[in-house]
């Protein structure tokens, strides 16, 4: 016989509230357990290897050396003078055209670097599959830089650089691949900020 009553005297109300409370508690315990299980798996059992990492470490080391030499060559081309808005329009246009020439020269260095890096294919299957994708992204980025130099020449204005984006800017994808393969010198340069 049920002897529980609610405040208004209806039997069984207390049992419903207890059952609901117990259901909520059980649900919370299950949710917290699943959350904890996920983090235990992620921290201790999930693969820690980068998704873009290729197996041919000699290829990556060679690429890093090529890219480092190219970066040093590009640094020699650098012009750190500011394009001052206080100058007259002709002086600004002349400086912008000089900048366009530097962009073309530094982009040619990047293009040669890329040609040298991909002249030898990685020996592992994953590398053979994803290096051409990285190269394709890099080639589009190189063309973006050449297009930017033409915009500078045509306008005579110090315009911002815009690169192709496929969900994210190509430079981020290129840089992620370079980072995952311990070849940071092969990341795209960030030299076109105004």
pLDDT at residue 181 greater than cutoff 60: yes
The residue whose two tokens read 């973006």 is 144
pLDDT for 131: 96
Angle between helices 170-180 and 125-155 (to 10 degrees): 140
Encode pLDDT of 44-89 as tens digits.
Answer: 666 656 678 999 999 999 999 999 999 999 999 988 877 766 668 8
For residue range 136-174, list pLDDT tens digits in order: 999 999 999 999 999 999 998 889 999 999 889 999 999
Alpha-carbon distance of 55 to 118, in angstroms, equals: 16
Can you give the pLDDT at residue 86? 67
Average of per-residue pLDDT values in the chain: 86
DSSP 186: G
Minimum mean pLDDT among 6-15, 24-33, 92-101, 106-115: which range? 6-15
Please check the confidence at residue 33 and state whether its pLDDT lies above 60.
yes
Confidence of residue 37 (pLDDT cuts 50, 70, 90): confident
120 has a pLDDT exceeding 90 = yes
Tell me the pLDDT band of 1, cut-offs 50, 70 and 90.
very low
The answer to whether the beta carbons of residues 54 and 79 sit under 8 Å apart is no
Helix (H, G, I), strand (E, B) or coil at 177: helix
């Amino acid at each position: 016989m049920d002897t529980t009553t609610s405040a208004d005297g209806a039997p069984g109300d207390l049992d419903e509230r207890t059952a609901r409370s117990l259901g909520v508690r059980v649900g919370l315990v299950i949710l917290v357990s699943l959350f904890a299980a996920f983090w235990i798996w992620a921290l201790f059992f999930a693969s820690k290897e980068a998704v873009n990492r290729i197996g041919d470490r000699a290829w990556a080391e060679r690429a890093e050396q090529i890219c480092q030499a190219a970066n040093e060559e590009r640094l020699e081309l650098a012009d750190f003078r500011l394009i001052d808005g206080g100058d007259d329009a002709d002086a600004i246009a002349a400086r912008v055209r000089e900048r366009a020439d530097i962009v073309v020269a530094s982009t040619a260095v990047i293009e040669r670097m890329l040609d040298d890096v991909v002249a030898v294919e990685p020996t592992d299957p994953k590398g053979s599959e994803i290096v051409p994708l990285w190269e394709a992204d890099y080639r589009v980025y190189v063309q973006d830089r050449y297009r930017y130099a033409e915009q500078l020449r045509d306008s005579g204005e110090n315009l911002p650089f815009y690169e192709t984006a496929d969900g994210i800017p190509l430079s981020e994808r290129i840089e992620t691949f370079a980072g995952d393969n311990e070849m940071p010198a092969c990341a795209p340069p960030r030299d076109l900020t105004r």
